[in-house]
């Protein structure tokens, strides 16, 4: 059948319109990148190079978030909702009894009830709690017997979590499940006198609460790129961005360990083995010090399988804080349907994995702000751990939580920290031209309430100065400690037992950091140090010799650690890039003038994993200094390569022999 001329012309016009719209979309995308680049150049260009830190000892370059190699494949993601129905059961805090009440929204079941004749609603719950009588309480939970409940029923004060179920029950006692959900409770167990004393003390000598919010794998650079509205929120008066903040370890554990205990992963080995129960409990976590100072404490982290203190570790034997979300997360990830997105649990039952944690944080704020000094830490992996674009999907919800915390007056009474552990460590962002800095420069924003800035103007002034000084996780530990000792006026005022155990030269950010500070002074190893400018020398004749020497040490390491039966040996495939560090007037100075520091990224066979090593090579002796193979960076994912081994550091470099028939995951 032939089309009429009019119909044909109409379809052609539609086709041309689609082409024009597609081209316009491409032009708008390109225009967006150009505008971003122009904005960056206008606001950040000072001569040829702008620096976050610029001293004779440290030149940390400011990084353009909108380079072509990061923006050309950059796509904003949409939030996918976990449910489209309303909550059948909700909880409400009764301020007269200081207890929670459960509400059953029976009207939601009316459409079903009408089809069932003489049917009724039946709701029940099982209490979830921590099982403190097993060897590893962090790896399990306790579930109590089923209890039915009625509308407006009061929740017993010793209840922390519950899983609820509501059924439609017909005349023959047949039950149909309507909804299954989980509820957490931040119960108020404070004695009245303690609250009264605190309120009185606050009017005379206020004590700041502390609230830490963390997003895994989020550099200060990607925050600007992926969450501009959040960046705008934390750019308001009272916020201080630590632009010279440099990570001290590879992944989450060593960076949070340094921040929360003042210890390094290597240093802890002298005291205990973190893979054995009880080790983590023995460390001086900062929340213990706040608890000793009569603070009410809380800690929550999503994605229980990769939690900071539980991934390939036994976690805590004693509950670490007054309020601790882990038992509920274990229960719901086991009992509810789990949908993965961005690499990890996204929807757990009817809610985002992320929301369980941040709702818990909201409850903690609502319950104790103004009634007790608080120390709270909430941490999320679900959106940002593996996918840097996951932050774009999270942006509007995350901003909503920030504004909700603001409405609860958190920022009026508390020092608030928005931070990350590191930036992205592999794949797209890490492989970009700015990837070296993306990985090593996590976001760190500190908010000081107005009353604190007025009462302690010298501390606020020092913090402002330190925004562009080199700082580290150990300094943040000292900063948190300083909040419990605001009478200390200098580094010398802190006794040795109060200093970060693995960095005695580190200090509070409320005290002015030295202008000429080096990475050694901040407890940052050469491998992670962003202070030295680099020169690309990939095509130099000696680079392949250096790479072969690295690969040889990798193979020797497999043999010496009895891994050669499980892990395939390495052969150099190619050198992708080689940079030589410039030695500044002070800093990491080799004793031998012929010795230089190189950052080399290279591929090996089998499976072409991409590694990066920071090494010292002597051009005169043609010798490579010993390297710790466990400190190598893996710039490509090892998800499908290292399932034969459960050693955390070894997973980075082991290519399991039984994985050779499986493709690597990029």
Q: Which residues contact 115 (CB under 8 A, 6 or more apart)?
A: none
Nearest in space to 258 (alpha carbons), one of 466, 500, 494: 500
- Structural domain that includes position 581: 534-659
Q: What's the DSSP call for residue 492?
A: G
266 and 121 within one domain: no
What's the mean pLDDT in 266-271?
94
Residues 253 and 122 in one domain: no
What are the tens digits of pLDDT across the range 284-332? 999 999 999 999 999 999 999 999 999 999 999 999 999 999 999 999 9
Same domain, 166 and 232: no
Instruction: Mention every residue, 6+ apart, whose C-beta is less than 8 A from residue 380.
Output: 214, 215, 216, 301, 302, 354, 357, 358
pLDDT grade for 283, boundaries at 50, 70 and 90:
very high
| pLDDT tens sequence across 6-34 | 554 554 555 455 455 555 544 444 444 44
Alpha helices, H only, 336-389? 353-368
- Choice among 353-357, 367-371, 378-382, 429-433 with the minimum mean pLDDT: 429-433
Task: Please check whether residues 600 and 464 belong to one and the same domain.
Answer: no
Q: Return the CATH number at 410.
A: 3.40.720.10
- Is 79 contained in some domain? no
Say if residue 302 is in the same domain as residue 430.
Answer: yes
Same domain, 254 and 314: yes
For residue 484, tell me if it sits in a domain.
Answer: yes
10 lies in some domain: no
Contact 167, 177 (CB under 8 A): yes
Nearest Cα to Cα of residue 360 among 321, 306, 313:
321
Q: CATH no. for residue 627?
A: 3.10.450
Of 482, 498, 514, which marks where a domain is finished? 498
Is 280 part of any domain? Answer: yes
Task: Look at the chain and report how many structural domains it folds into.
Answer: 3
Say whether both 422 and 360 belong to one domain: yes
E strand intervals along 387-452: 414-419, 444-447
Residues 329 and 468 in one domain: yes
Whether the CB-CB separation of 252 and 308 falls below 8 Å is answered with: yes
Are residues 133 and 171 both part of a single domain? yes
Assigned domain for 4 exists: no
pLDDT in tens, 43-81: 444 446 899 999 999 999 999 999 988 898 889 999 999
pLDDT at 9: 54
Q: Which of 384-388, 410-414, 471-475 has the lowest mean pLDDT?
A: 384-388
Closest CA to 442 of 243, 228, 303, 599: 243
- Report yes or no: 365 and 408 within 8 Å, Cβ to Cβ: yes
Q: Provide the token pair at 1.
A: 């059948």
The CA distance from 106 to 371, in Å, is 35
Do the domain assignments include residue 59? Answer: no
Domain closes at, from 478, 498, 518:
498
User: Which residue, among 54, 384, 425, has the nearest Cα to 225 in the 3D structure?
Assistant: 384
Same-domain pairing of 122 and 220: no
Examine the fold and report which residue of 470, 498, 526 is the final residue of a domain before the chain moves on: 498
Mean pLDDT of the chain: 90
Question: Is residue 556 one of the residues assigned to a domain?
Answer: yes
Does residue 538 belong to any structural domain of this protein?
yes
Q: Return the exposure string of 354-387: e unless at least 16 CB atoms fall within 10 Å of the residue's CB, then b.
A: bbbbbbbbbbbbebbbbebbbbbbbbbbbbbbbb
Give the count of alpha carbons within 13 A of 299, CB side only. Answer: 18
Same domain assignment for residues 552 and 494: no
Residue 285 to residue 333: CA distance in whole angstroms: 27
Do 345 and 431 share a domain, yes or no? Answer: yes
DSSP-assigned letter for residue 2: P
Backbone φ and ψ for 89, nearest 5 degrees, come out as -125, 130
CA dihedral 303, 308, 313, 319 (to 10 degrees): -90
Q: With cut-offs at 50, 70 and 90, classify the pLDDT of residue 592.
A: confident
């Amino acid at each position: 059948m032939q089309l009429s001329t009019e119909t044909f012309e109409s379809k052609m016009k539609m086709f041309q319109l689609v082409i024009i719209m597609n081209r316009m979309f491409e032009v708008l995308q390109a225009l967006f990148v150009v505008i971003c680049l122009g904005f960056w150049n206008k606001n950040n260009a000072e001569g040829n190079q702008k620096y976050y830190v610029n001293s004779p000892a440290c030149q940390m370059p400011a990084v353009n978030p909108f380079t072509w190699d990061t923006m050309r494949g950059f796509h904003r993601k949409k939030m996918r909702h976990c449910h489209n129905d309303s909550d059948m059961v909700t909880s409400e805090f009764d301020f007269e009894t200081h207890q929670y009440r459960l509400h059953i929204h029976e009207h939601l079941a009316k459409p079903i009830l009408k089809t069932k004749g003489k049917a009724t609603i039946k709701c029940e719950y099982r209490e979830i709690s921590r099982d403190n009588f097993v060897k590893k309480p962090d790896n399990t939970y306790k579930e109590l017997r089923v209890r039915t409940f009625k509308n407006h029923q009061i929740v017993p004060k010793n209840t922390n979590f519950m899983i609820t179920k509501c059924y439609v029950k017909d005349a023959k006692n047949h039950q149909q499940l309507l909804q299954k959900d989980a509820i957490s409770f931040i119960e108020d167990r404070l004695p009245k006198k303690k609250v009264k004393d605190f309120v009185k003390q606050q009017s005379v000598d206020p004590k700041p609460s502390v609230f830490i919010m963390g997003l895994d794998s989020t550099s200060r650079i990607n925050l600007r790129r992926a969450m501009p509205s959040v960046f705008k929120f934390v750019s308001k008066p009272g916020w201080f961005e630590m632009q010279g903040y440099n990570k001290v370890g590879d992944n989450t554990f060593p960076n949070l360990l340094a921040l929360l205990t003042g210890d390094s992963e290597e240093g802890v080995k002298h005291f205990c083995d973190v893979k054995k129960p009880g080790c983590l409990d023995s460390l001086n976590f900062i929340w213990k010090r706040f608890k000793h100072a009569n603070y009410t404490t809380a800690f929550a982290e999503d994605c229980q399988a990769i939690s900071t203190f539980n991934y390939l570790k036994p976690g805590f034997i004693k509950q670490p804080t007054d309020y601790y979300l882990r038992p509920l997360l274990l229960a719901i990830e086991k009992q509810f349907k789990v949908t993965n997105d961005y690499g990890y649990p996204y929807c757990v039952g009817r809610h985002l994995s992320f929301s369980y944690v941040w709702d818990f944080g909201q409850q903690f704020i609502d319950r104790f702000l103004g009634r007790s000094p608080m120390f709270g830490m909430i941490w999320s992996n679900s959106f940002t751990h593996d996918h840097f674009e996951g932050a774009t999907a999270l942006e509007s919800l995350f901003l909503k939580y920030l504004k909700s915390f603001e409405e609860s007056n958190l920022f009026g009474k508390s020092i608030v920290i928005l931070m990350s552990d590191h930036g992205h460590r592999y794949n797209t962002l890490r492989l970009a031209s700015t990837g070296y800095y993306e990985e090593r420069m996590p976001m760190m924003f500190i908010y000081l309430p107005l009353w604190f800035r007025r009462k302690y103007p010298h501390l606020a002034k020092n913090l402002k100065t330190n925004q562009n000084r080199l700082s580290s996780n150990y300094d943040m530990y000292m900063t948190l400690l300083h909040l419990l000792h605001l009478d200390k006026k200098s580094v010398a005022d802190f006794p040795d037992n109060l200093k970060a155990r693995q960095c005695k030269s580190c200090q509070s950010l409320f005290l002015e950091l030295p202008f000429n500070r080096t990475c050694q002074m901040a407890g940052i190893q050469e491998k992670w140090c962003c202070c030295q400018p680099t020169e690309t020398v990939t095509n130099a004749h000696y680079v392949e010799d250096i790479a072969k020497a690295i690969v040889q040490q990798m193979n020797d390491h497999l043999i010496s650690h009895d891994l050669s039966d499980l892990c395939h040996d390495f052969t150099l495939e190619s050198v992708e890039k080689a940079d030589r560090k410039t030695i500044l007037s002070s800093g990491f100075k080799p004793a031998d003038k012929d010795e230089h520091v190189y950052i080399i990224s290279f591929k090996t066979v089998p499976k072409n994993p991409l590694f990066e090593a920071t090494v010292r090579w002597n051009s005169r002796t043609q010798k490579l200094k010993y390297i710790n193979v466990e400190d190598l960076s893996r710039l490509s994912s090892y998800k499908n390569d290292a399932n034969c081994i459960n050693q955390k550091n070894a997973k980075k470099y082991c290519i399991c022999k039984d994985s050779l028939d499986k493709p690597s995951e990029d």
